[in-house]
């Protein structure tokens, strides 16, 4: 299967070697776009895609994502960033430039349920998710073969109440050792500690199996069945210290009816979960998600 990945990845790198994304958040004020676009123009960069959002025309926050092309980009990165400093200082911007040919390094955490993991691996192989996946971590051994058959290292780190702290320590070490940019909890059934979350602010993505804020917490499908809802859903969000309360990246639903029992809801839900998680991860990998006030701006 991997020839797809190699081929499409090659194409992607080729096509994107001169492409970068500039992300900016700051207080809204006149002249931002003029300053930024003039700067890019002076650098010989051509704007390919641009999205902006102002929370409120009067005194709100301003968010900007510009995707640009610039010849000989690889040799110009330092200069680009240095010269942007004067603009960013003037407007007191939070900002970064992400280069499309520098793949993000993604670790996937999983328990026993395979569907979300498989969807990510599959889209990755198909070249639809552009990232490196240096490792998969699981608290169960079951999915080792699946993962290793794709040439991805699999770490089995069991977690019990007693070993939880130690297990997390190992996870954090691996995340650091492998230089991980983003952690995806692909139905990982453990709650991460505040310490772990602090390590990777807005860089841990979870999938919750309900349309949050409905059915926060455990057993959402069972509770959806008991409540008799006519829609079930899934929610992908960044992990914060408040369980299931982090900024929502993506949600979706499917219709169900009285004939569907809790097992049916789980089966139908599996397809929603994997599609929602894959979309959220894809947007994150393309630097399309910005966070403010516990919400996301998604520049699709």
- C-alpha distances in angstroms, 25 versus 56, 76, 81, 138? 14, 23, 16, 35
94: β partners: 25
Q: How far is the CB of 213 from its own copies (least distance, A)?
A: 5
Residues near its own copies (CB under 8 A), total: 68
47 touches its own copies (CB under 8 A): yes
Q: Which of 28, 132, 181, 244 is catalytic?
A: 244
| Cα 247 from Cα 292, distance rounded (Å) | 8
Six-digit token string for 162: 């007693």
List binders of its own copies among 182-221 (CB under 8 A).
Answer: 211-215
Q: Which residues from 251-280 bind its own copies, rule CB under 8 A?
A: 251-253, 257-259, 267, 270-271, 275
Q: How far is CA 297 from its chain centroid? A: 13
CA dist., res. 170 & res. 97, Å (int): 31
* Length of the chain as a residue count: 300
Catalytic (active site) residue 244: yes
Contact between 145 and its own copies (CB under 8 A)? yes
Does 143 engage in binding with its own copies (CB under 8 A)?
A: yes
Per DSSP, the residues of 173-225 read HHHHHTT-SEEEESS--SPPPHHHHHHSTT-EEEEESSSTTTT-SS-HHHHHH
Binding span for its own copies by CB under 8 A among 48-56, 98-106, 170-178, 192-200: 48-56
Q: Is 156 in the site for its own copies (CB under 8 A)?
A: no
Contacting residues toward its own copies, per CB under 8 A: 1, 3-4, 28, 30-31, 33-34, 37-38, 40-41, 44-54, 57, 69, 114-115, 118, 122, 126, 128, 142-143, 145-146, 149, 211-215, 227-231, 233, 247-253, 257-259, 267, 270-271, 275, 293-298, 300
- Which residues are known to be catalytic? 244
């Amino acid at each position: 299967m991997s020839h797809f990945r190699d081929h499409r990845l090659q194409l992607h790198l080729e096509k994107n070697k001169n492409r970068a994304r500039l992300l900016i958040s700051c207080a809204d004020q006149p002249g931002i776009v003029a300053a930024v676009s003039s700067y890019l123009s002076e650098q010989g960069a051509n704007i390919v895609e641009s999205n902006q959002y102002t929370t409120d025309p009067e005194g709100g926050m301003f968010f900007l994502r510009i995707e640009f092309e610039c010849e000989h980009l690889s040799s110009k990165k330092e200069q680009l960033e240095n010269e942007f400093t004067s603009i960013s200082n003037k407007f007191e911007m939070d900002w970064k430039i992400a280069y499309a040919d520098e793949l993000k390094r993604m670790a996937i955490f999983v328990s026993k349920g395979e569907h979300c993991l498989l969807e990510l691996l599959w889209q990755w192989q198909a070249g639809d998710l552009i990232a490196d996946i240096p490792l998969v971590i699981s608290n169960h051994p079951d999915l080792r073969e699946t993962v290793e058959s794709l040439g991805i290292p699999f770490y089995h780190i069991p977690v019990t109440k007693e070993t939880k702290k130690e297990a997390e320590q190992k996870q954090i070490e691996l995340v650091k050792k492998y230089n991980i940019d983003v952690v995806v909890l692909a139905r990982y059934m453990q709650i991460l500690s505040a310490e772990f979350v602090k390590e990777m602010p807005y860089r841990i993505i979870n999938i919750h199996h309900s349309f949050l804020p409905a059915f926060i917490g455990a057993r959402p499908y069972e509770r959806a069945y008991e409540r008799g809802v006519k829609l079930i859903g899934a929610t992908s969000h960044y992990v914060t210290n408040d369980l299931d309360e982090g900024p929502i990246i993506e949600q979706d639903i499917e219709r169900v009816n009285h004939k569907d029992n809790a097992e049916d809801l789980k089966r139908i839900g599996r397809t929603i979960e994997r599609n929602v998680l894959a979309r959220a991860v894809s947007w994150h990998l393309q630097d399309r998600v910005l966070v403010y006030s516990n919400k996301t701006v998604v520049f699709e």
